[in-house]
Amino acid sequence: MNPSRTILHRVYRVGAMATAAVVLSSIAPASIAPASMAAPSATTDNSANDTCESAARLGRAPDQSDYTLADLRRIDRRLERTLARRSTGTTGGARFGLVLRIPVHAHVIDGNRTRGVSKRAVLRQLSILNNAYDGGQSQYNASTPFRFYLESFDRTRNQRWRTASMFDDADIQARRRLHQGGPDALNMYFSAPRSPNQDAVLGWSTTPWRAKRYPRIDGVTVNEQSLPGGDLAGYNRGDTAVHEVGHWLGLFHTFEGGCSPRNDRVEDTPASREPSLGCDLEKDTCEAEGLDPVRNFMNYSFDPCMNMFTQGQVARMTDNWLAYRTP
């Protein structure tokens, strides 16, 4: 397999969650708000080789960036070239306050004896998503131009699809069969995915620079128990979807690039050497200015902790939208 480092995911680990529970129990409720966590992903399907992560990191806690500095520079150069080619026309209006309404095609995958989430639960998740992308959850959260509305809802019964691993044969088959719309439409798959090591996977996402090359697998998978009120304690306020849609719109993890000057390619997210797996607000892993961005939606912290995007992240999401997801 020739991984191209273009997909990211979140893995639920009991050991990490037990540690987090201790950390969060000492924080006053008023000082925390929802969060997300992510980790690298993999595939065994050769047709998805250009959209996969290395399988080596599955089943263990993430401890480094998913992209090399060369990867980050290459992706930046491509973004700059693509934006330059598309600099004329009407798409630039997104830079000046226009709202971009994104249709969502929601695909709920039932098991043989298990029914997936309801349409009402999906609508509640979209409400959380819209609140986060409209600057809600905290006074520090920058508002984005993206708003999401339910365009379609379908339900499929298929046990293999329901527990599929990241971009394995079953997952590729499900996506190709269910996907709707073009690169400007968000396909969300709600299921109970497992990793090859049988970890409960919280979710994963494709990236915008691969959307037109691999249109039928573009989208976001979200573990149904990470939706508001789900059973994954610490991860059940709906911010797995917020995090994964951030990847779908082109954001890296905040710790990408480690302590290098441009780290995650966003100037106003402080550099960090590693992900935050709890809610240590004093964590500082780089000598650069600023504490680690523990509350940022694109870190690995837990739902009760994260509550913000930065203005720089908003600009990068908008640039990726204009470059890759506009008609």
Secondary structure, 3-state, 286-326:
CCCCCCCCCCECCCCCCCCCCCECCHHHHHHHHHHHHHHHC
Percent of the chain with pLDDT over 70: 76
Give me the residue label for tokens 């290395």: 54
Cβ neighbours for 15, distance < 8 A, ≥ 6 positions apart:
none
Query: Is 244 designated active site?
Result: yes
Q: Of these residues, 244, 267, 287, 289, which one is catalytic?
A: 244
Over residues 238-253, the mean pLDDT reads 94
pLDDT at residue 27, rounded to an integer:
26
pLDDT at residue 267, rounded to an integer:
87
For 92-113, the pLDDT digits (tens) are 445 556 789 999 999 999 999 9
Count other C-beta atoms under 10 Å from residue 139's C-beta.
8
Dihedral pair phi/psi, residue 258, rounded to 5°: 55, -130
Percent of the chain with pLDDT over 90: 49
pTM strictly above 0.85: no
For 165-213, the pLDDT digits (tens) are 988 999 999 999 999 999 999 999 999 998 887 778 889 999 999 999 9
Give the span between the Cα atoms of 257 and 286, in whole angstroms. 11
pLDDT at residue 94, rounded to an integer:
52
Domains by residue range for the chain, with CATH: 8-86+93-325 (3.40.390.10)
More confident residue, 65 or 231: 231
